[in-house]
A = this chain, B = another copy of it.
Amino acid sequence: MANDYSDDRLRLAARLYYVDGLAQNEVARFAKVSQAKVSRLLALARERGIVRITVADYEPRRRELEGQLVERFGLSTAIVLKAIDGLSSGDLRRSVGHFGSSAVEALIKPRDVVAIAGGRTIHELVHHLPQPANKALTVVQAMGSVDANVNAFDAQEVGRVMAQRLGGSFLALNVPAYMPDRRTRDALLQLEQVRNVHERLGSAQAALVGIGTLSNSVFIERGVLKPADIAELERAGTVGEICGRFYDADGNEGATSWRDRVISIEVDQLRRIPLVLGVVSGSDRSAAIIAAIRGKLLKGLIIDEAGAIALLAVSAAAPVPKARKRKG
């Protein structure tokens, strides 16, 4: 009649439900309680380990592809996540985020300083990080804010969540991502609040970054780049972008006016970070990724299998430095 969460009660319910296959309704009659309570009893039984559900391991990674990427591109780390063919880009990001998060969690050591960029895939990944951890990280925003209305994908938000999830503090870069001119930009960089954070980026042990292209980056998406900017970047041979840094096929940042206006981690700072992980979902970034690797802007990749395959296919056609072999 009264509150009775004895093990025997829980076992009765669990046995009838899981072993004998009765519906909660029927279990309720045996136990003389409401169906609602049976639901609660079962939840408790699972929690207390009276009911144990084990699932044969699912291997979410494509280890052979990881090996090939490491070998072909001289990466220190490659995480290739399985993904069903034909997923929408949203679901693909979700897959990469879901299964990539545990790998990332394993790669980041306690007390690390981590530079972090925004982006949808990174957002997805960060939101799947295990909740109860205390790594005492320092998570540092790697690029200013693209515009005033902050959305969930922005570095500011993503970094905050990461620090909260893995435990640690978040250092925000409380400035716009770009200024009208170099002078203003430099002035801003001198501000103590900004300078401290910006310098901190150089001492990071790890970074999580997305990779953009000239036709597909957050700056295009939000209409930040003017036609003149785009033309200039094109002239500079831009093939990709990381944290607002546009680079050419060798992974070098072009000397454009944009370069002088952006506020984000410097290319040289990035090169100094031992573990810069590019987080990518999709197969349309191969050239940008290859160039970034060539320029030492990236040391590792987290990518879906189709993306990895595309990358390998492209590089087979156009050799990259450090490539030791070519297929067939």
Contact = CB atoms under 8 A, between A and B. Distances in A.
Interface stretch (A91-99, A103-111, A246-254): A91-99
A30 B94 contact: yes
A327 interface: no
Given A8-B58, A52-B54, A53-B52, A91 B15 contact: no
A19 B102 CA distance: 13
Interface string A200-244: 000000000000000000000000000000000000000000000
A62 to B, nearest CB: 11
Contacts of A7: 56
Contacts of A50: 55-56
Chain A interface residue bracket vs B: 35 or more
Contacts of A58: 8, 11-12, 14-15
Nearest to A48: B56
Interface string A170-204: 00000000000000000000000000000000000
A84 interface: yes
A51 interface: yes
A56 to B, nearest CB: 5
Nearest to A84: B32
A51 B86 CA distance: 27
A15 B84 contact: no
Nearest to A28: B91
Contacts of A51: 53-56
A55 B18 contact: yes
Interface string A131-166: 000000000000000000000000000000000000
A31 interface: yes
A313 interface: no
A56 B91 contact: no
A87 interface: yes
B11 A91 contact: no
B14 A84 contact: no
A56 B14 contact: yes
A57 interface: yes
B11 A57 contact: yes
Contact of A55 (B8, B11, B94): B11
A32 B87 contact: yes
Interface in A24-82: 29-32, 45, 49-60, 82
A22 B52 CA distance: 17
A47 to B, nearest CB: 12
Interface of A: 1, 7-8, 11-12, 14-16, 18-20, 29-32, 45, 49-60, 82, 84-87, 91, 94-95, 98
